[in-house]
């Protein structure tokens, strides 16, 4: 009787034990969409780490999971449970896996090929969407590197006129600025493209980023602010270099800049921010932002960018040193492979 009762009790307990509840998540990267089933207890870090493992990314400190909340956006906090944050109530919940912080020098800081590729795709989209201003001349040069990355070496026998007809390569503003046909633009881009012979995809993407990083709006997050509670509309820009104050109709040239190295402290109380310079003789700068969500976002970006600024000025961690050594070895192996005759003619497409 004892054995039967025990077995029966165990059976009942087994029935009562529920499977852990899950929720569905869709993550959109710059070149893929993924769906995951997550446990309700998962924190932001659990989901973020899973995405990084899935795409094979180790330089995780540049990236984040972004979601839409009311009239703005937010980044998933790693230390809080996913469902305890203001994430959309949809199923699946949609997140965009994007670069949250930008390097000061792409060639020195972006080590992995996958990191470079994700940055290339994101910056290219920002330029085409006119989130980053780019002159017509620079736009054509950037387009030629994008074409090299996609099609490999130019071959006039293979790349006939019209081969770029389906590619979005230039911002609409640039296309509308001149009375030029699509064929004329293609001719200009192809003239540069032909000069890039022998450049591998990853090298072409890096050349693209090296030009893009010198554009004034590259890597800057902009926020509407006021200098006092009533008027004087301004824009705040946060980037890898520091904080910048702009006139509302000009995102290119800041009126005032505060490099991270010159800032002693940034304090925040409700709607008021205070920037205290390292030089105590310089004036303290105060500004106001009315939305609590936006203020939290500004603070997050300030902390993250400042942390990376300090980190760049220290010796690389063992992990980064190993990554750089592996990347160097892989590039050397790749060059040896590419230098061997393939027995095939024509472009590497």
CATH number at residue 309: 2.30.29.30
The string of pLDDT tens digits covering residues 9-43 is 444 455 555 655 899 999 999 999 999 999 999 99
The string of pLDDT tens digits covering residues 88-104 is 988 899 999 999 999 99
Q: What is the per-residue pLDDT for 229? A: 64
> CATH code at 161?
1.20.80.10
What CA–CA distance (Å, rounded) separates 251 from 222? Answer: 8
The structure tokens listed for 207 are 């050349």
Same domain, residue pair 239 and 309: yes
Q: Is 320 a member of any domain? A: no
What CA–CA distance (Å, rounded) separates 310 from 132? Answer: 26
Q: What is the per-residue pLDDT for 302? A: 95
The string of pLDDT tens digits covering residues 170-228 is 999 999 999 999 999 999 999 999 999 999 999 999 999 999 999 999 999 999 999 87
The structure tokens listed for 210 are 């090296």
Phi, psi of 154 (to 5 degrees): -70, 135
The structure tokens listed for 84 are 């305890």
Distance of CA 59 to the CA centre of its chain: 12
Apex CA 238: angle with CA 237 and CA 244, to 5°? 50
What CA–CA distance (Å, rounded) separates 41 from 81? Answer: 6
Helix H or strand E encompassing 307 = helix 292-312
Please check whether residue 99 is in contact with residue 122, taking contact to mean a CB–CB distance below 8 angstroms. Answer: yes
Q: What is the DSSP letter of 276?
A: E
Q: What is the per-residue pLDDT for 149? A: 97
Q: Is 15 a member of any domain? A: no
Domain-ending residue, one of 71, 99, 127: 99
Q: Exposure pattern of 165-204 as b/e (b: 16+ CB <10 Å)?
A: eeeebbbeebeeeeeeeeeebbebbbebbeebeebbbbbb
What CA–CA distance (Å, rounded) separates 343 from 61? Answer: 42
* CA nearest to 47, candidates 93, 116, 86: 93
Helix H or strand E encompassing 299 = helix 292-312
Please check whether residue 311 is in contact with residue 109, taking contact to mean a CB–CB distance below 8 angstroms. Answer: no
The structure tokens listed for 339 are 């230098």
What percentage of the chain carries pLDDT values higher than 70?
A: 90
Q: What SS3 class is residue 220?
A: coil
* CA nearest to 143, candidates 184, 171, 177, 103: 171
149-153 average pLDDT score: 96
Q: What is the DSSP letter of 134?
A: -
Note the pTM of the prediction, 2 decimals: 0.88
Domain-ending residue, one of 213, 235, 265: 213
Bridge-based pairing of strands 93-99 and 22-28 is parallel
Distances in whole angstroms, Cα of residue 332 to Cα of each of 28, 169, 224, 326 = 32, 31, 47, 10
Q: Is 173 a member of any domain? A: yes
Q: Is 167 a member of any domain? A: yes
Please check whether residue 205 is in contact with residue 117, taking contact to mean a CB–CB distance below 8 angstroms. Answer: yes
* CA nearest to 144, candidates 111, 186, 183, 192: 192
Q: Total structural domains in the chain?
A: 3
Q: Which domain holds residue 179?
A: 113-213
Same domain, residue pair 30 and 79: yes
Same domain, residue pair 33 and 120: no
Q: Is 198 a member of any domain? A: yes
Phi, psi of 59 (to 5 degrees): -85, 65
Same domain, residue pair 150 and 205: yes
What CA–CA distance (Å, rounded) separates 122 from 64? Answer: 13
* CA nearest to 276, candidates 259, 290, 264: 264
Domain-ending residue, one of 213, 244, 269: 213
Least confidently predicted of 235-244, 307-316, 330-339 = 330-339
User: In 129-197, where does DSSP find H-type helix?
Assistant: 136-151, 172-177, 182-193
- In which band, very low, low, confident or very high, does the pLDDT at 52 lie, cut at 50, 70 and 90? very high
């Amino acid at each position: 009787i004892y054995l039967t009762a025990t077995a029966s009790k165990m059976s009942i307990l087994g029935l009562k034990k529920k499977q852990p509840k899950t929720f569905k998540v869709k993550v959109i990267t710059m070149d893929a969409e993924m769906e995951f089933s997550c446990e309700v207890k998962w924190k932001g870090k659990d989901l973020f780490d899973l995405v990084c493992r899935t795409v094979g990314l180790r330089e995780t400190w540049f990236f984040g999971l972004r979601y839409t909340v009311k009239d703005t956006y937010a980044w998933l906090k790693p230390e809080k449970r996913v469902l305890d944050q203001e994430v959309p109530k949809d199923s699946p919940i949609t997140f965009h896996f994007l670069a949250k912080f930008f390097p000061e020098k792409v060639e020195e800081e972006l080590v992995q090929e996958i990191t470079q590729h994700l940055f290339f795709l994101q910056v290219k989209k920002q330029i085409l969407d006119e989130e980053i201003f780019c002159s017509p001349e620079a736009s054509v040069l950037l387009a030629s590197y994008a074409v090299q990355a996609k099609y490999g070496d130019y071959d006039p026998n293979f790349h006939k006129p019209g081969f770029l007809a389906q590619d979005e390569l230039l911002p609409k503003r640039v296309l509308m600025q001149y009375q030029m046909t699509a064929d004329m633009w293609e001719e200009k881009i192809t003239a540069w493209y032909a000069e890039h012979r022998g450049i591998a995809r990853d090298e072409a993407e890096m050349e693209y980023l090296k030009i893009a990083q010198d554009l004034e709006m590259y890597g800057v997050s902009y926020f509407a602010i006021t200098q006092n509670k009533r008027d004087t509309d301004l824009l705040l820009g946060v980037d890898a270099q520091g904080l910048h104050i702009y006139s509302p109709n000009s995102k290119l040239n800041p009126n005032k800049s505060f490099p991270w190295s010159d800032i002693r402290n940034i304090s925040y109380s409700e709607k008021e921010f205070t920037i205290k310079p390292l030089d105590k003789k310089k004036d303290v700068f105060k500004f106001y932002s009315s939305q609590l969500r936006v203020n939290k976002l500004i603070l997050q970006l300030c902390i993250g960018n400042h942390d990376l600024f300090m980190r760049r000025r220290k010796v690389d961690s063992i992990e980064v040193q190993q990554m750089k050594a592996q990347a160097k070895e892989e590039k050397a192996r790749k060059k040896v492979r590419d230098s061997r005759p393939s027995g095939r003619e024509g472009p590497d497409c």
